[in-house]
Amino acid sequence: MSLSTWNIDTTHSSIAFSLRHLVIAKVRGQFKSWRGSVSWDDADVRRSSVVVEIDAASIDTAEAKRDEHLRSADFFDVANHPTLTFKSTSLKANGKDSWLVTGDLSMRGVTKSVTLPVTLLGEGKDPWGNEKMGFEASTALSRTDYGLTWNKQLEAGGVLLGDEVKIQISIEANKAKPPAAAK
């Protein structure tokens, strides 16, 4: 078995989202503080796994008042639910360099199974000899499925916020160096 560990380089990676606002535009944002790793099995990718932990308070939509509201009990309730997590439960081939990664996403005390279509963008060495891998994934979630139900009715009809949140993930991972042999 050729299992290796790859640590996500969050300085070269992102977890971003967008959702409808006033039915006429989209609000975009990202999480600034998070960490994760990939256990990769070259011999059988189905035995690979992914774990990601996101600091909910690190949400950033480029608007401080909105971010403060998103951290409140109306949305992420970071005082009681400081972390969002994703832990894969299975990987299934979905074409060349593409997989369906299914896992448990936990947010605001609710855990649901989600499937991410993941594409390997490539692998190689950086100028310093470090091994790298890059992946992309995207999906859509219902925010209300996770207890993020706050909304406002609009005078003209409809609601302030859409339910569907589109997630875009871009990952660059560094192969972990094996531990040095004891002397």
Per-residue pLDDT, averaged over 9-17, amounts to 95
One-letter amino acid for residue 138 of the chain: S
Q: Decide: 115 and 134 in contact? Cβ < 8 Å.
A: no
Question: Which is higher by pLDDT, 46 or 85?
Answer: 85
Which tens digits make up the pLDDT trace of 85-124?
A: 999 999 999 988 999 999 999 999 999 999 999 999 999 9
Residue 44's pLDDT band (cuts 50, 70, 90): confident
**Res 125 pLDDT > 90:** yes
Cα angle 105, 164, 61; round to 5 = 85
Per-residue pLDDT, averaged over 67-83, amounts to 96
| Dihedrals phi, psi of 149, to nearest 5 degrees | -105, -10
Fill in the DSSP letter of residue 115: E
Per-residue pLDDT, averaged over 34-59, amounts to 93
Residue 80's pLDDT band (cuts 50, 70, 90): very high
**Res 183 pLDDT > 60:** no
**Res 1 pLDDT > 60:** no
Residue 180's pLDDT band (cuts 50, 70, 90): low
**3-state DSSP assignment of residue 68:** helix
User: Per the CATH hierarchy, to which homologous superfamily does domain 3-175 belong?
Assistant: Lipid/polyisoprenoid-binding, YceI-like (2.40.128.110)
Domain positions in the chain are 3-175
Residue-averaged pLDDT of the chain:
91
Kindly state the percentage of the chain with pLDDT values over 70. Answer: 96
Label the pairing between strands 59-60 and 14-21. unpaired
**Res 56 pLDDT > 90:** yes
